[in-house]
Amino acid sequence: QVQLVESGGGLVQAGGSLRLSCAASERTFGTYVMGWFRQAPGKEREFVAAISWSGGTTYYADSVKGRFTISRDNAKNTVDLQMNSLKPVDTAVYYCAAGFRARLDGSNRGYDYWGQGAQVTVSS
């Protein structure tokens, strides 16, 4: 059982930056694909970014490409999401997810474990 805990959310003005971090409890963290998803009020959860187990491959939603960067540190069991040039439409609860069978294709298939979420609010 993998436990995921997000941190780093908060309130920021449009154009600002935030960095989310997700800490995993599992010592086999390095074998999982890791992803970030988000859910805005009244909307379905959507894919944001994903990173392969080695960190060598990443995949982003078109809406965040060029602004967000996903990275991981397998020695520390952490995955981060650096968010720059934030917009009010980025306001959502952001979730970290882990999946051994997940693919880097923008879907939520194959993710077995989810964090509790971190609120990100971008004011205009």
Predicted confidence at residue 1, as pLDDT, reads 81
Question: Angle 43-58-46 (CA atoms, 0-180°, nearest 5)?
Answer: 5
CA atoms within 13 A on the CB side of 46: 16
> From first to last of its 124 residues, what are the pLDDT tens digits of the chain?
889 999 999 999 999 999 999 999 977 888 899 999 999 999 999 999 999 999 999 999 999 999 999 999 999 999 999 999 999 999 999 999 999 999 999 999 999 999 999 999 999 9
